[in-house]
Structure 1
Amino acid sequence: MTADDGVLTKLVEHFSLHDRDCQKHQDEIFTRMRTEAPVSHSVEHGGFYAVSRYRDVYEAAHKPELFSSFPVTIPPFGNPTPMIPIESDPPMHRKYRTLVGARFSPKSVEALEPHMREMVRTVIDGLVGKKDADLAKEVAIPLPLRGILELYLGVPEKDWEKLKDEFLYMLQPDPESTDEENLERSMAAGLNCTMYFAEMLDHLRTNGYGDDLISHLDQAELDGERLTDDEIYGFCLVLVPAGFDTTASVLSRLLLMFAEQPEVRDRLERIVDDPEKLDLAVEELIRFMPPQPGVARNVTEPCEFAGQQLDEGDRLLLLWPSANRDPEEFPDPDELVFDRQPNRHLGFGSGIHRCLGSHLARLELKTLLKEFLHRVPRYRVAPGKEAVWHTGNTWGVKTVPVVFDEWPEP
């Protein structure tokens, strides 16, 4: 159902990533913004400007000296320490990113492929033979969660669920609660996560380091100095949610799409065993359903940007999904074109803060597609149930209840 003109005008004026109606009418809102007010003002969360056109989003992402990345959300998380490196500005940003960049390089991620394949197969093994399942809770969330906590941070399996819940409190505020209530809840969750990693760090220092990133960070130096504990916690506070919730949002939407639009699955099945075609398809999926709906930037000095006069302290929200549907950059932007070239999408962000884990996300998505499309039968949304979306700093589907067709004989 489309929104009438008056409703759409109000949604633009009150735009928020935490509003269900804004999420429901996102395509109409983004089209209105791009054509009528590419830097539009929202009165929500204390007021901010939403940037919607591709060229403007790209430019803002490439001007860190004018648009600071701290805090990176609207409203802010309220976390006890800045998240590193995503909330760091130059020159520290490059130094911080260099400390962990090698672990997320294409070569390092490629070496994880056997582990990732085993993880995917284990997840699918858990589905085999079932009549019904929740593909968000049983596939989309646990796969990237295990990927970041096991392969990178060395968190024991017994603690995965606890950490997941705490980080989701930060990432998915209750749209029915006030900013103050959500901030209190988010700060408590951030503190709980920080305390967990403080205990983990103490354990590593007492019992010996491992090959995990926390051990690496505690032994690393910047300009001849060891990192502070708060700096290490800052890394942890971004690595976990960035490592699982962003990818989970894409996976959950894709798995729901297979139920609602089986022709998309048909098209992917025809190319999934062709590496070059699959690579192009994955880039198009990221363009079409980017992991994050937007990130914040904060104006450091008075300036004019895209025709809008801005003051120091003003906040911008860079809308990746809107930029990725801009017809001035992408022909047929609302169509899934699996062989789209060129495809300069902003699904992983752009500029100095371009997603550190983009190669890991690609690996997870490609590995899942190759196994899932060969092993899991067709399915549909379970009768009498519906998929439940979440708003917040990622937009995904938190429940995908489905019933399967008949499973193939083993």
Structure 2
Amino acid sequence: MGVPKGRRRIVVVLAALLTLGAVAVVGYRVLAPAEVVTPAQDDLPPLDTPAVGVVGRLPVAPLIVDGRLRVYAAQRQVYADRPADSRHRVTPFWSYRRWPAELHAVLVSGTTVVSRWSDGKLVALDGRTGKVAWRADGPVPGSDFAARRTGAAVVWDPRGIFVAPAPDGRTTLVASGKGGLRGYALADGRELWRAAGDAECRTDLGTTAAGQVLSVDACADPATVEFRDVATGAVSTRWRPPAAGRELSVTPLGCLTPHSQCRGLRTSDGRGWLVGPGAPVPSPVLGAEEVTLCGEFAVGVTDGVLIGRDARTGKLRWRRGDLGEVRVIAAEPGRVHVLTRQRDLITLDPRTGAQRSRFLMTVGRDGIGWQPGRAYAVDGYVAVERLREGAGPEDDDQGYFLMAEPVVLAAT
């Protein structure tokens, strides 16, 4: 005795609905917005002083946290390994992942790791454990960009997030994007202020060591540089270089971390300036593009000689004509790092020009047939992307980078 035709149809419909429901549940679990936090399960490694020289090579660009960990960026993940002087990348110490948002920028301040995502979300992690310290809604990034496989653009050149000390000593995080600027307390993520503005004609460049947010307002005619109080968001100074043209672009200089706590700037007319409270002060020695501001000193190559000058007065402090053909690749407090044509990494004291260390910036039999890409320096560590000789921005990653592990890490 068979099942009546009407009942059979009902069974088929129910089975189809159950199947669709199961597919929907699976699809939701796979595609729904998600956050996966995998905190550290072990103790931090002891703080150690690494031996001077090349540490090793890595496939991706690191950020050094607390002198103990390395933090990396992937398309949808921030993760860390340990110790900081490990020769290769190792199993993650902690990991934080979001879906479907993409990671746009990572910034380290002390032991706090701040990540910025394509949906505008700001997520701060305790760099020592990987646990979420706070989450906040921020302005959506103004534009997409394609980071190469090392992730150096995300960690060494983070766009749209900056930090600076407020007058009370607390650190403020500033996020820039569509809809304007916002300020947050770095300690707990509290939103402190908002400043509306037209992102199409205002460029937010970073912060100064004096606790200001630096922007170029091209909505004004002519374009003007704005200095905004980091604690309140109020504009304290509007400034234009004397005799500047109608169009104006600005490059921050001497930043403690990328785009944060900068001490100087260079304007598009080839003039240099020191920034602090009030209007910028002229610094002619900072006008040349090849000059780097390191603390109070301007370091650059002139006629093949590496020269250090007082950035405020222009007075010659030291000169090194014995280094051969060199290029300044990175600077940090108390250290300026230069790379020779023979790929020696030389670290000097920016005040005196005295050599702190020198060694060949290569690993094993990798050789010296490469050109430097992006570079990063903190706490005596230096990391450099190694590019193929003749590589250009239009090349794909295979033709751009020297090898699968193009980042070389060293301790100076």
Higher relative contact order (Cα pairs below 8 Å, separated by 6+ residues)? 1
TM-score grouping bracket, smaller chain normalisation:
under 0.3
- Structure with greater helix percent: 1
TM-score when normalising by structure 1: 0.24
Structure showing greater radius of gyration is: 2
The normalised TM-score by structure 2 is: 0.24
By percentage of residues, which structure has more strand?
2
